[in-house]
Structures are given as structure tokens and as C-alpha cells.
Amino acid sequence: MHRAPEEWPPEGLEEVAQSLEFLWIPHALTAGPAMNIPIEPTIYPLPALRFLALSDWKECRPTALVTGGPAWDAVQDRLRLPVVWRGEPQRATLDHWQALLDGVQGEVVYAVGGGLATDAAKFLAARCHLPLVCIPTALSVDAFLTGASGVREGGCVRYIETQPPDLLLVDLDVIAAAPPSLRAAGICDVLSIATALWDWRFAEEQGQNPPEMAYVEWVAEVARGILRGALDCAEAAGAGDPEGLRALLRCLALEVLLCNLVGHSRPEEGSEHYFAYAVENEVGPGRTHAELVGPGILLMARAQGQETAALERALRACHIPLDTIPQEVVNRTLKRLPEYAAHHRLPYSIAHTPGVAAALGGNESTRR
């Protein structure tokens, strides 16, 4: 992530809303000097976004395709691509992506699928200096909107700068047909605002925020509005309703854009994600992002003393699995979480406090 230019934040919510509306335009910030905004550090734009039937899309450029079996199966009868190279990433590590890089051919990179395919494709496109088109087969993460890729390293997740997609193609029929537990699972990256904002303010009160991550109330207020939007659309998005899915995508886009503008992810990432990173070491690979972050949201919100009924309703409406992590693994992870968060130098949160497990009664469950 990059620190925002010093002109930001603007004064007041009206200016914030105007800024967000303007910066929705893809690549709006590439004309930095004309806008009197410093070019460095980079504030990434959102990708251009098109809603369409994939059968109507035409691509003529030789294509490097990054995908996975189930994702490609979901679209191959609808999508015509002149594929000259295909890669199927199996894990989110730099060594693995570097091995894929050696064989890439084509004039454009396409990512078809979820977070792993998208993060790998962003890495490959950035290293090969190629344009990138993303086609999500579910709204399962926010990765197809960001300019960074998450890699697993030393038992944690580290985000490296890659590039945002140039174009996002969304076929709502494809999204609606996704497995229910994946269809709207990206809501976890918006509901996490509830716990992340608490952590961010807590860190400020404890004097633990570095200057570039100082708590800013207007940013928190904008984030709360995005959170309310996700709570409102959860039922429709989880059911595959087109307007519900559009609304969830808007929430994801606004969450990403807000973090791009402020130069860090504190408004949406905190102890709930730290729990997910830590528990993944216990349960091993193969779990979805939502399967780890969803329970983390409820656990950390309870540790913070927050009411969780609305959050749980939204998670269940979007079919997020909340009971697949064995209880003994949850308990063990909570006990180790302060040491884990400190060891990996994660931004300060309730996860860093020795009493986080005790705050949950030492035997807390997401099963309610």
C-alpha cells in the first residue's frame, strides 16, 4: 500500500463524496500534474467496469489466460479468447508465480476466477508489462479491484505491489450461478470494516498508530457508510439477485477506493484478518478467504464488545461458512494470536492484547 498525497484528506464529507465520485473514472489520476496532485506516491484507480454477457465480448489479442479448472468450466462455453498460454496457479507464493512467469506468452493477460487467479495474474501482468482483464466467476474477494497481490510468506500474508486490472468484465448470470458459499463471499471484505475501525481507533488511543496511519474520523465515517450498504444488500446479493450483486460490487469498489486514497487498509483490515491469517496455519491450505475471515469478524467483534447480530445475519445471508473450523483450533489460535500479531508486526489491534482470548471467555464459538 502507498501513503496518500499530503493534500489528502480533503476537509469535510461533501468534499470526500465529490472526490470519490470523480476518482471512480478509471485512470483519472494519471493526469496528476494537470490536477495539481503529486504523482508520487501512486494512488491506484479502480479498473474500468463493464456489465455484459460474456458471449458478447470479443477479444482479438493473443491471450495469456490465468485461471483454475472450476472457474474456467463456468465460462468456457460463453467466452471466446484466443488463448496462446494458460497458467493455473496452485498457491500464492512468489516462487510459484515466478515459475509461471517464465512461460508467459501473449499481448494481454486475462484472469478468470477468484482471488488466487487474480492475484497471480496481477503479478504476471505487472512483471510482463501487459494489460490485464479480470473476469470474476463470483464476488468472492476484493482482489479484482486492487493494485496489490497477497502472498503467503513465513506463516502470514504479505501484500506486494503489482497492478490493478485495466478492465473488469462482470456477467451477473455467471456470478449468480456460482456456488452459494462463494457467490457473495466478498462481503467479508466489507463487513470487516466493523472490526477494523474499532481496531484502528483503539490503536490511536493506545498511541500505536504511526503518523501515516493516524486515525481520521471522516475516513471512518465514510467506511461506516460502506458497511451500512453491505448490510443492506446482503440478503439480495446472497440470493444472487442482480441488483443485490451490483450493490455488493459497489461496496467492494468503494472500500478499495477509500483505502487507495488514504494509503493503507486500516479502515477494512484488522484483527479479523489477523485471526484468518493465523488460523490458516492451523487448518492448512484449501479454505476460502471468507471461511477464515467470516468467523474472525464475529469473534473479534465480540472481543471488542460489539453487537454482532446484524453482522451474523449478513454473513449467513451470503452463505458464509461459520462452523467449519474445529473449536479446539479456534481456541488455540485465539491464545496464540497476540504473539502472532506482534511477531509479524501487524498494525496494532485488539489481537495484540494478551486478554483477547479471555475477553471471549476462553472457549468462544461462532456457532450461535
122: CATH:
3.40.50.1970
Interatomic CA distance for residues 115 and 110, integer angstroms:
13
Q: Is 263:158 a contact under the CB 8 Å cutoff?
A: no
Q: Distances in Å between the alpha carbon of 112 and those of 8, 26, 67, 310?
A: 35, 21, 5, 32
- In a domain, residue 21? The reply is no
- The per-residue pLDDT for range 264-295, each reduced to its tens digit, is 999 999 999 999 999 999 998 889 999 999 99
For the chain, what is the largest distance between any 2 Cα atoms, rounded to a whole number of angstroms? 59
At 13, the pLDDT band (50, 70, 90 cuts) reads very low
Indicate the range of 27-31, 159-163, 233-237 predicted with least confidence: 27-31
The DSSP-derived string for 25-93 is: STTGGGGTGGGT---SS--PPPPEEEE--GGG----S-EEEEE-HHHHHHHTTT----EEEEE---S--
- Averaged pLDDT of the chain: 89
pTM of the model: 0.86
At 364, the pLDDT band (50, 70, 90 cuts) reads low
- The pLDDT of residue 286: 86
CA 37 from chain centre, in angstroms, equals 26
More confident residue, 311 or 69: 311
- The per-residue pLDDT for range 76-125, each reduced to its tens digit, is 999 999 999 999 999 999 999 999 998 899 999 999 999 999 999 999 99
- In a domain, residue 118? The reply is yes
Domain boundary among 178, 195, 220: 178
- The per-residue pLDDT for range 320-342, each reduced to its tens digit, is 999 999 999 999 999 999 999 99
- In a domain, residue 284? The reply is yes
Tell me, yes or no, whether 315 and 349 share the same domain: yes
Q: Position 314: which residue type?
A: A
- The pLDDT of residue 285: 84
Collapsing DSSP to helix, strand or coil, 7 comes out as: coil
Q: Is 5:268 a contact under the CB 8 Å cutoff?
A: no
- The pLDDT of residue 112: 98
- The pLDDT of residue 355: 85
Q: Is pLDDT of 179 > 90? A: yes
Q: What is the mean pLDDT of residues 27-36?
A: 39
More confident residue, 124 or 4: 124
CATH number at residue 271: 1.20.1090.10
Q: What is the mean pLDDT of residues 41-60?
A: 93
Tell me, yes or no, whether 156 and 113 share the same domain: yes
Show the cell assigned to 219.
475516513
Collapsing DSSP to helix, strand or coil, 286 comes out as: coil
Q: Is 136:180 a contact under the CB 8 Å cutoff?
A: no
Residue 9 phi, psi (nearest 5)? -80, 155
- In a domain, residue 254? The reply is yes
Tell me, yes or no, whether 217 and 309 share the same domain: yes
pLDDT-above-70 percentage for the chain: 87
Collapsing DSSP to helix, strand or coil, 16 comes out as: helix
Tell me, yes or no, whether 60 and 100 share the same domain: yes
Interatomic CA distance for residues 236 and 184, integer angstroms:
10
Tell me, yes or no, whether 206 and 348 share the same domain: yes
Tell me, yes or no, whether 247 and 129 share the same domain: no
Show the DSSP H helices in the chain as ranges.
12-23, 69-75, 94-101, 115-128, 172-176, 180-183, 188-191, 193-205, 217-238, 242-262, 271-283, 289-303, 309-317, 327-343, 356-359
Beta bridge partners of 109: 64, 132
Non-local (6+) Cβ contacts of 326 within 8 A are 283
Query: Residue 41: is the preceding peptide bond cis (ω within 30°)?
Result: yes
Q: Is pLDDT of 221 > 60? A: yes
Range of the domain at 158: 48-178
- The pLDDT of residue 365: 56
CA 53 from chain centre, in angstroms, equals 24
Interatomic CA distance for residues 339 and 102, integer angstroms:
38
Place of cell 504479505: 158
- In a domain, residue 16? The reply is no
Tell me, yes or no, whether 223 and 312 share the same domain: yes
- The pLDDT of residue 23: 33
Tell me, yes or no, whether 187 and 154 share the same domain: no
Start-to-end CA span in the chain (Å): 36
Structural domains in the chain (count): 2
Domain boundary among 126, 161, 178: 178
Orientation of helix 12-23 relative to helix 242-262, angle to 10°: 110
- The pLDDT of residue 362: 54
Q: Is 186:140 a contact under the CB 8 Å cutoff?
A: yes
Tell me, yes or no, whether 62 and 121 share the same domain: yes
